[in-house]
Structure 1
Amino acid sequence: MTRVWDVPVHDSTRVRDVRVAAEAAAETTGLGRDRGAVAVLVATELATNLLKHGGGGRILLETVHTDLAPPGTAGRGPALQIAAIDHGQGIADLAAASRDGFSTTSSLGAGLGTCRRIADHFEVHTVPGRGTVALARVHATRRDRPGHGSPGTSAPVRAGGVNVPLAAAEHSGDAWACVRHHDLVTLLLADGLGHGPSAAKASGAAVAELRRLAHLPPAELLGALHPALHDTRGAAVAVARLDLVNLRLDFAGIGNIGARLRSGDTWTPLLSHPGIVGAHRPARLPRSSLPWTHDSLLVLHSDGLPSRWVPPPLAHLTTWDPAVTAAVIMRDSSSAARPARDDTTVAVLAPTPQDHRT
C-alpha cells in the first residue's frame, strides 16, 4: 500500500513534525543510518525554507522507484522523495538561496546549497507570485552525479509523480508505477475506489501486477488486472506503454483517470472507458496510439485533480524533473475554494534531456 507523509508547515512548530516524519519515511525506504540522516537534514531544511520564502506550505515524503535504465545495468533501487510545495511569492534570488550556508537563524544552517550537494537529486522550480517546488531524492547508497544537481541516467525517458492522500491520511488510495521491460516503458496509475487502506489495497494490487506483467500491451494488461483486483474494491486504472524503438505511445484505460499527451504546443486528451477494474469489465476498450517525439510529455492523474487543469508554461517543461512537473500541476490546480474530495496523484513521463544522460 502507498504510504505518504503529508505534513503541513505553517509555523515553526511543524518543522519538528517534518523531522519526525522524515525519520519514519527514511526507515520505511530502507535508507540506513547515514543516508537516513541526510534525508532528515534535507527535509528539515526544506520545511524551514517553506516558512522563509513561501509563507508556509506542505512537505510530501514517499518511497519511489524512478530508474528506467536499460536491462542489465545497475538499478538505483528505492529512494525517499521529499517535495516541498508552496503557493508563496517565490524565491527572489534563487542563486543566493542555493549557496551553502545561506540560512535563517532558526534553520540547521545547511541552506538549499547543502541540500543540493548531499541529496542524490535536488531541483528547485520557483516563479515570482506563484510559488516554489523544491524536490529531493535520497537513495540508500550515495551515487556520484554530474553537475546541476541532476543524476545522470542512460534511460531515454524519465518518470515521476506526486501523491497526496485525502486529509493527510496515512495511506493513499492512489498508486502509480513505471516499469521498463526491454525497450518498452509502461506507466500505470490506479485509483482505488474511495480512499483509505481498502482503496490502497486495490491500487497496490494493480501496481504489483504491472511489475509482473510489464511485457503486456495496455489493453491486455487491463484484462489481466480484473482477476487480480476481484477481491478488492476495484480501481480506475490507466496504462500507457512507450515503445522506445518505434517511438509510439499506446494507451488504454478504465475509469476516470485523466490522461493528456503533449506534442509540440498541442495537448491531446487520451480517453478511458467507463468501468471499474476488478468489477465491471467492458467488452472492448478504446485504444490510442500516437507518436512520441523529443518534446512529448505524458500526464496521468486521478480524479482528485480537476479535469480542466491548465498546463504549466511550455518553456523548458521537458527539462524539469517529471516529479517537479507533477507537483506544479497539482499545486496550480488546487485552491482553498476548491478543496480536494479524494486522494490526488499526478504521474508524468518525459524525455530525458541530453545533458542529463551519462
Structure 2
Amino acid sequence: MSRVWDVPVDDSTRVRDVRVAAEEASACAGLPAHRTASAALVATELATNLLRHAEGGHVLIGLVERTDDGGPRTCVQLLSLDHGPGIPDVAAAMRDGYSTTVAASLGAGLGTCRRIANDFDLHSAVGRGTVVLARIDHEAAVRHPETPSPPPLAGGVNVPLGRAAHSGDAWTRVRSGDRLTLLLADGLGHGEKAAEASTAAVTALRDLAELPPPEILRRLGPALRPTRGAAVAVARADLSAGRLDFAGIGNIGARLRTGGAWKPLLSRPGIVGAQAPADVPVQSGPWYEDSLLVLHSDGLPGRWSPPEDVLLSCDPAVVAAVVLRDSGSAARPVRDDTCVAVLNGGGSSRV
C-alpha cells in the first residue's frame, strides 16, 4: 500500500520528526545503514531550511520504484514544499557551505544533498516558494559532471488525508521498450481499504502494460472486484511512434500539454471493480518531446493552473509537487487523499 510520511515543519521540534520519518521510510525500503544515514541527513537539511528560509512548509516522504540497469528497486523519495520567498540565486545556494544565516544546520547544505542523493532537483520561484526533491537508493550515486543523468520520464507525489499512514491513491509506471504506461488509481473513500484497491490496480498493471489502455481497464475489473473498487486512468506513450493513448474510469483528472497548449482528457463515469462501463473509448493524440501529461485524483481542486515555468526542465515529481503546492492553501483545505502523477516527453531513456 501507499505508505506516506507527511510531516509539517512549523517549529524546531519537527526537524527530528522529519529525520525519524526518513529513517522509517529507509527501513521500509530496505536501505543499508549508510544510505539510511544519507536519507536522514537530507531530511534534516530540508526541514532546517524550511524553518530558516521559508518560515515553515512540509516534507513528504514516500517509497517509489527507481529503475536502472540493475532493475527496479524501492527507494526513498523526499520532497520539501514551501510557500516562502523563493531562492533568488539557486546556483549560489547549491554551493557547498552556502548559508544566508550565521548558524549552519549541519555544515551540509543543498550542495551536499545533491551529491549524496541518487536523484536531486530543485525549483524555486521568487515570491512563490521552493520545491526540493531527493531520492535515496540502496547504493551511492556515481556522478559524472560532464554527462549529467537525464531526469526520469515519470514521477509523482502522494498525500494522505489528515496525514494518515496510508493514502488511498496510488500511481505507477511500467516501461516496455519504447512504450511507457502511466496509471493513477483512487480507491473508493480513503484509508487502508481504499489503499488496498489502488494497490491492487498498481500491482496488476505489471502484467497488463502491453495492452491498450481501454483493455487494461477492462482487465483490472476482476483484480479490483474483491476490493472497494477505484477510479483509474491509464495513459500509454509510444515514444518511437510519437503517440499518446488515454482512457479513464471515474474521477481522475487529466491534462495534456502538446504544442504549448493544454487540453483536458476525459474519463467515463464509473468504478473499476464495481460499476465500470462496458465500453471505454480511447483518446489519442501526438506525443512530442515537449509534451507533458498530468494525472490527478479528485483531492486536487479542479481549477488548478499549470506551472508554465517548471515543465520540461524539471524532474516530473517536482512538477507534480508544484502543481500540488500551488493548488492548495489554508483557505482551501484538502478533503481527500491527493495524488498527482506526471509524464514527461523528455526523450530520456530512464524512468
Q: Distance in 2 between matches of 1:94 and 1:295?
A: 24
Contact 2:116 2:141 (8 Å CA) reproduced: no
Q: Which residue pairs with 2:92 in the alignment?
A: 96
Q: Which amino acid aligns with 2:306?
A: P
Matches within 5 A, 1:1-358: 1-67=1-67, 73-75=69-71, 77-103=73-99, 105=103, 107-147=105-145, 151-152=149-150, 158-313=153-308, 315=309, 317-352=311-346
Shift of 1:247: 1.4
Cα 1:78–1:148 shift into 2, 3 Å: farther
| Contact map agreement 2:290 2:346 (CA 8 A) in 1 | no
Q: Distance in 2 between matches of 1:266 and 1:152?
A: 24
* Total equivalences in the alignment: 348
- On the 8 A contact 2:38/2:136 being kept in 1, the answer is yes
Deviation of the 1:265 alpha carbon? 1.8
Runs of at least 5 residues in structure 2 that lack an aligned partner in the other structure: none
CA contact (8 A) 1:123 1:149 kept: no
Q: Any unmatched runs of 5+ in structure 1?
A: none
Q: Is the 8 A contact 2:310 2:319 kept in 1?
A: no
For the Cα contact (< 8 Å) 1:123–1:150, is it kept in 2?
no
Q: Classify 1:309/1:112 alpha carbon distance in 2 versus 1 (closer, same or farther; 3 Å).
A: same
1:159-191 CA distances to partner (integer Å, 9 max, x unpaired)? 000001111000000000000123221000000
| Structure 2 CA distance for partners of 1:109 and 1:147, relative to 1, 3 Å | same
The answer on whether the counterparts of 1:145 and 1:152 sit within 8 Å (CA) in structure 2 is no
SS at 2:73 equivalent: coil
Instruction: Go from structure 1 to structure 2 and tell me whether the alpha carbon gap of 1:180 and 1:353 turns closer, same or farther (over 3 Å shift).
Output: closer
RMSD: 1.8
Q: Look up the SS of the partner of 2:153 in the other structure.
A: strand
Amino acid in the other structure paired with 2:346 = T
Query: How far is 1:109 from its partner?
Result: 1.5
Question: Please, what TM-score do these two structures have when normalized by structure 1?
Answer: 0.93
Q: TM-score, normalised by structure 2?
A: 0.95
Q: Distance in 1 between matches of 2:198 and 2:30?
A: 22
How far apart are residue 77 of structure 1 and its match?
2.0
CA distance in 1, matches of 2:295, 2:148: 24
Report how far residue 283 of structure 1 moved.
Answer: 1.8
104-113 vs 323-332, which moves further: 104-113
